[in-house]
Amino acid sequence: EIVLTQSPGTLSLSPGERATLSCRASQSVSSSSLAWYQQKPGQAPRLLIYGASNRATGIPDRFSGSGSGTDFTLTVSRLEPEDFAVYYCQHYAGSLTFGPGTKVDIK
Amino acid sequence: QVQLVQSGPEVKKPGASVKVSCKASGYTFTVHFIHWVRQAPGQGLEWVGWINPNTGGTNYAQKFQGRVTVTRDTSISTAYMELRRLSSDDGALYYCARANYNFAPFLDYWGQGALVTVSS
């Protein structure tokens, strides 16, 4: 079973700063199977990125995804106030697996 | 617009069963798998299983095998998740989500969640 690890656990940044979130898989995975979600308190998760680098419908271009093999990255180029949230990576290989999440909070 | 509307909160005693519904609208129900994901208070996301609404085929996380059943009623575009032999560890928000595909599934629309509380 593939295990996803996300780092850091918490990222404290100011609006306007760049956020770089990491998702590492325990073994090499297909980029097609890697997605990222954003979750705000009291809300359901929202799809941001699928196939490692494709933005979902309506997602601003300040969000970008990259990576391959075991290492994937979600980048928010300039944090807006509404971007402070928890971010999860997800992989599928017969079953769905989520990473433990990275919380981006206001410094 | 695509919507997934879930049933309301439930309070159950340990050992009981719960059945949560998820009504889909705004798209053809039988085209997209429905996944179930749960989230315990203050915790991360945990996958429960999926159903193919077209065939009724299912796949469950090993952790829930034998204790969960996901079904659907295509006439009313609704999926159901039943979890049996509840324990306090099952207290969580249960989400349904629609799967879309780009060589592999991702969850593009989510329900609002259904809170299940397990308490004696």
Of the partner residues B59, B61, B106, the one whose CB lies closest to the CB of residue A35: B106
Helices and strands (DSSP H and E) totals, chain B: 0, 11
- What would the two tokens of residue A28 be? 């090499």
Instruction: Please tell me the predicted confidence (pLDDT) of residue A94.
Output: 85
Instruction: Return the bridge partners of A64, or none.
Output: A75
Cis peptide before A15 (omega within 30 of 0): no
Instruction: Please tell me the predicted confidence (pLDDT) of residue A93.
Output: 87
Per-residue confidence of chain A (107 residues) as pLDDT tens digits? 899 999 999 999 999 999 999 999 999 999 999 999 999 999 999 999 999 999 999 999 999 999 999 999 999 999 999 999 999 999 998 899 999 999 999 99
Task: Please report, in angstroms and rounded to a whole number, the separation of the first and last CA atoms in chain A.
Answer: 36
What are the backbone angles phi and psi of residue A39, rounded to the nearest 5°? -135, 125
- B-chain CB neighbours of A35 within 8 Å are 106-107
Say which amino acid occupies B17.
Answer: S
Cα of B90 to nearest chain A Cα, Å: 18
- What would the two tokens of residue A78 be? 């300039």
- B-chain CB neighbours of A58 within 8 Å are none
Nearest CA to A33 among B76, B86, B55, B102?
B102
Q: Are the Cβ atoms of A101 and B44 closer than 8 angstroms? A: yes
B30 has a pLDDT exceeding 80:
yes
Chain B residue closest in CA terms to A98: B45
Task: Report the mean per-residue pLDDT for chain B.
Answer: 97
Q: Find all residues with CB under 8 Å of A57, minimum gap 6, and list them.
A: B108
Share of chain B above pLDDT 90, in %: 96
Instruction: Please tell me the predicted confidence (pLDDT) of residue A1.
Output: 86
CA angle centred on A86, ends B32 and B87, rounded to 5° = 70
Segments of A1-107 assigned E as strands: 4-7, 10-13, 19-29, 34-39, 46-50, 54-55, 63-76, 86-92, 96-98, 102-106
Q: pLDDT band for position B68 (50/70/90)?
A: very high
- Tell whether the torsion through CA atoms of A83, B24, B81 and A93 is positive or negative: negative
Q: Are the Cβ atoms of B104 and A32 closer than 8 angstroms? A: yes
Instruction: Return the bridge partners of B106, or none.
Output: B100
Instruction: Please tell me the predicted confidence (pLDDT) of residue A101.
Output: 98
Cα of B82 to nearest chain A Cα, Å: 19
- The CA distance from B56 to B54, in Å, is 6
- The CA distance from B97 to B84, in Å, is 21
Q: Are the Cβ atoms of A30 and B103 closer than 8 angstroms? A: yes
From the candidates B60, B107, B112, which should be mutated to test the interface with A, based on the most A CB atoms within 10 A?
Answer: B107
Say which amino acid occupies A77.
Answer: S
Q: What pairing do the DSSP bridges indicate for beta strands B46-51 and B58-60?
A: antiparallel
Of the partner residues A30, A44, A100, the one whose CB lies closest to the CB of residue B44: A100
B104 has a pLDDT exceeding 90:
no
How many other C-beta atoms lie within 10 A of the C-beta of residue B39?
18
